[in-house]
C-alpha cells in the first residue's frame, strides 16, 4: 500500500465516521417520544429530497456507489462486470427502490407535504 493510498483510506474512514455520527443523531431524533406523523414525514423527505444538498441522502449515496462502479469498470479484470454490475445495481436500488419507498411512507404519514 502506498502512502497516497493509505492517506486516501484514512480520509474515507474519517468521512465514514463523521457520517455515522450524523446518522446516529438522526436516529436519536427519530426515537424521540414527541415525533408525530407530520414531523416523521418531513424527516423522511429530508433524507430523500434535501433542498440544501440537491438530491438528499439516498441520491448522494447512490452517486457515491455509482462512482465506485465506474472506477471498477476501469480496473476490474477482463472488464467482465463482476465488480461493477453489482455496484450499479446497488445504486439503482438506492434511488429506485429505497428512495421511492421513503416517499411513499412520507406521503402516507403526511400527504400535504412539509407543513410541520
pLDDT value for 51: 55
Dihedral sign from CA coordinates of 19, 91, 102, 58? positive
Residue-wise pLDDT tens digits, 34-78: 999 999 999 998 888 755 556 688 888 999 999 999 999 999 888
Contact 57, 103 (CB under 8 A): no
Domain ranges of the chain: 1-31, 35-116
pTM: 0.78
Q: How far apart are CA 105 and CA 37, in angstroms?
A: 10
Q: How far apart are CA 17 and CA 40, in angstroms?
A: 25
Q: Taking the C-alpha atoms of 66, 69, 73 and 79 in order, what is their torsion angle to the nearest 10 degrees?
A: -130
- What is the longest distance spanned by two Cα atoms in the chain? 55
Amino acid at each position: 500500500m502506498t502512502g497516497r493510498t493509505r492517506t486516501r483510506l484514512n480520509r474515507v474512514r474519517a468521512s465514514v465516521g463523521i457520517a455515522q455520527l450524523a446518522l446516529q443523531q438522526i436516529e436519536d431524533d427519530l426515537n424521540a417520544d414527541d415525533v408525530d406523523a407530520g414531523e416523521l414525514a418531513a424527516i423522511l423527505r429530508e433524507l430523500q429530497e434535501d433542498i440544501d444538498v440537491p438530491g438528499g441522502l439516498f441520491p448522494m449515496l447512490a452517486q457515491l456507489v455509482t462512482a465506485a462502479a465506474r472506477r471498477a469498470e476501469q480496473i476490474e479484470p477482463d472488464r467482465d462486470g463482476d465488480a461493477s454490475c453489482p455496484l450499479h445495481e446497488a445504486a439503482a436500488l438506492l434511488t429506485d427502490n429505497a428512495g421511492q419507498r421513503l416517499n411513499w411512507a412520507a406521503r402516507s404519514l403526511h400527504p400535504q407535504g412539509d407543513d410541520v
